A and B are shown apart, each in its own frame.
Chain A
């Protein structure tokens, strides 16, 4: 049986089962959530061995019916979402004990996972929008879960900006529907390719701008990033890890890739495609610069990580944007492939190291009660496991050679230079050093140095909290060293799915 509907049905069922059983069974949340996310994580990893597949809802073939599609790109995101989701749930069991209403937390968490899985497997623009809303609304509530003044403010800000993004997306989808008369992504792609060839008409350009703004806001690209530096620090640590690790990627980057590469067919070239590719590169550069500079000045550990996420998303977008530009201008396919591969590889690495950093910030807050870097220091002596794993992630994000972050940034930079954007590459290299600067700041202020008063009393967190940290730290090293495995089985199918827009049409419409 095709497992695609299960990725939505299992977490959705869990989301409603948890509050129901929670009326009698207090621990229903953590038990069911860890059980179901474990099942989902195993399913997602096994998805690698399956060929690309389409599931027809209700037996109605697209373009009439609704289709669920899994190709290389979907598989990449499914693995990231479900594995990180499982690790965050394991981390939550001990971490979330200080909060009340835990069954609601786990219920919302599962709803968010259902929404993200839905976005990733949906083969239909409107369903993509619906699932995006499911995931977003659950995440608005989760950001405000602490119900303090700061959390509520961040949640409200995120809600308003997220709603603006949703309206833009809905308007874009409506425009695409008006132009092409269909919502199935493969069918839209076929219509656009047949009717317009390379040249897009103004309505499609407008819709594309709305998509770039709407999904760009979900991905927190500068200048649409204003919600992120408030939302990520205010959320509980496992939720920050989910938001930064997978939400901004599945709702933002994945959707941008899918819409522009597979639906708009950026590879067909033309003036419109070049405009979008240039816009992607411009947003990416802005994100790299703004995220990097603002991260250095932060003294709140989680806020620093939040700005760092903006900067790293910029690198991901840079790889994808350069790939799109090379494809749109009819450059060499190998360079475009390298750039897209670099972007996807950095995205995959960012899932591991940024989730790890946010979870470690939770562990540090759990043990010392603060995340103010001025009050921390010398953590290495009191919390060796947390400090060691944090160190690995910091080195990885900074791009120190044996770790995964180095290889992905290297691939992006090499591809950017090969594509002829030397100036862009120079800026990216300079800001790679800025990344190193704030990672050294994290090491200096938190991990090494004199033991501060708060750290004096700290003890290592319980095993349920540090085991996810260790697993993610192994991933940080493993993705770099085991590239032949990760690359061939996970990343290259994803790259091929983006490069060959026409294959997607073939796959869905048969």
Chain B
């Protein structure tokens, strides 16, 4: 059986959804309450990393394929740059081009919300990719390295 014991797997299946929802909450309310794109992105990445630890990398990759993670990774960064670029077209690099709204409303504070979402995309997929890189690559034995050097 791949992955950890049944107990861990069952608990993981229960909590993964909650973790993602909590991460999304941290991202979406980052401009009103403590939190933000980075913190929320890390929490979302943790959900996938937990799935990978409990079920093995095949299950984790079936939920979030590596290709998709790469697309989200680069796309998040580009999204951030594009939002900044909206500003340039109206005169300044990061002018607040969206409506500023009012306090205590979710859809307010202009560009901060979309920027938080972009950061969350970037951070969550990058952390997942970093972890999967660590999980995929086996450490080569010292002997094999020496033999390579001599060859």
How would residues 46 to 81 of chain B score, 1 for a CB under 8 Å from any chain A CB and 0 otherwise? 000000000000000000000100110111011001
B75 to nearest A CB, angstroms?
6
Q: Are A57 and B93 neighbours in the complex by a CB distance under 8 Å?
A: yes
Q: Are A19 and B145 neighbours in the complex by a CB distance under 8 Å?
A: no
Q: Which of B81-97 contact A (CB under 8 A)?
A: 81, 84-85, 87-88, 91-95
With both beta carbons as reference points, the residue of chain A lying nearest to B91 in the complex is identified as A59
CA distance A343 to B87 in the complex (A): 39
Q: Are A20 and B75 neighbours in the complex by a CB distance under 8 Å?
A: yes
Q: Which one of B84, B93, B149 has the greatest number of beta carbons of chain A within 10 Å?
A: B93
Q: Which residues of B contact A58 (CB under 8 A)?
A: 87, 92-95
Q: Are A17 and B70 neighbours in the complex by a CB distance under 8 Å?
A: no
Number of B interface residues at 8 Å Cβ cutoff, please give it. 20
Q: Are A149 and B149 neighbours in the complex by a CB distance under 8 Å?
A: yes
Q: Are A5 and B88 neighbours in the complex by a CB distance under 8 Å?
A: yes
Is residue A433 contacting chain B, with contact meaning CB distance below 8 A?
no
Q: Which residues of A contact B77 (CB under 8 A)?
A: 16
With both beta carbons as reference points, the residue of chain B lying nearest to A56 in the complex is identified as B92
Number of residue pairs across A and B with beta carbons under 8 Å? 42
Known A-B contacts A9-B81, A16-B77, A17-B78; the reply to A59 vs B92 at CB < 8 A is yes
Is residue A488 contacting chain B, with contact meaning CB distance below 8 A?
no
21 A-B pairs within 8 Å (CB atoms) are namely A5-B88, A9-B81, A9-B84, A9-B85, A12-B81, A13-B81, A16-B74, A16-B78, A17-B74, A20-B71, A20-B74, A20-B75, A23-B67, A23-B70, A23-B71, A57-B92, A57-B93, A57-B94, A58-B92, A58-B93, A58-B94
CA distance A23 to B149 in the complex (A): 32
Q: Are B75 and A59 neighbours in the complex by a CB distance under 8 Å?
A: no
CA distance A17 to B77 in the complex (A): 9
CA distance A56 to B87 in the complex (A): 12
CA distance A281 to B86 in the complex (A): 47
Q: Could you tell me which A residues sit within 8 Å of B by CB distance?
A: 1, 5, 9, 12-13, 16-17, 19-20, 23, 55-59, 149
Q: Could you tell me which B residues sit within 8 Å of A by CB distance?
A: 67, 70-71, 73-75, 77-78, 81, 84-85, 87-88, 91-95, 145, 149
Q: Are A16 and B81 neighbours in the complex by a CB distance under 8 Å?
A: yes
Q: Which residues of B contact A19 (CB under 8 A)?
A: 70, 73-74
With both beta carbons as reference points, the residue of chain B lying nearest to A19 in the complex is identified as B74
With both beta carbons as reference points, the residue of chain B lying nearest to A13 in the complex is identified as B81
CA distance A13 to B80 in the complex (A): 10
CA distance A16 to B121 in the complex (A): 13
CA distance A219 to B78 in the complex (A): 32
B41 to nearest A CB, angstroms?
16
B38 to nearest A CB, angstroms?
16
Q: Which residues of A contact B94 (CB under 8 A)?
A: 57-58
Q: Which residues of A contact B71 (CB under 8 A)?
A: 20, 23
CA distance A57 to B93 in the complex (A): 6
Q: Which residues of B contact A55 (CB under 8 A)?
A: 93
Q: Which residues of A contact B95 (CB under 8 A)?
A: 58-59
With both beta carbons as reference points, the residue of chain B lying nearest to A59 in the complex is identified as B92
CA distance A59 to B70 in the complex (A): 34
CA distance A149 to B84 in the complex (A): 41
CA distance A1 to B90 in the complex (A): 11
CA distance A5 to B91 in the complex (A): 11
CA distance A20 to B91 in the complex (A): 28
A39 to nearest B CB, angstroms?
15
Give the top 5 A-B pairs by smallest Cβ distance, nearest first.
A20-B74, A16-B77, A59-B92, A58-B94, A16-B74
Q: Which residues of A contact B93 (CB under 8 A)?
A: 5, 55, 57-58
A341 to nearest B CB, angstroms?
34
* Given A57-B92, A58-B94: 11 more A-B contacts, CB < 8 Å: A5-B88, A9-B85, A9-B88, A16-B78, A17-B74, A19-B70, A20-B74, A20-B75, A55-B93, A58-B92, A149-B149
A505 to nearest B CB, angstroms?
23
A420 to nearest B CB, angstroms?
48
Q: Are B149 and A20 neighbours in the complex by a CB distance under 8 Å?
A: no
Q: Which residues of B contact A5 (CB under 8 A)?
A: 88, 93
CA distance A1 to B88 in the complex (A): 9
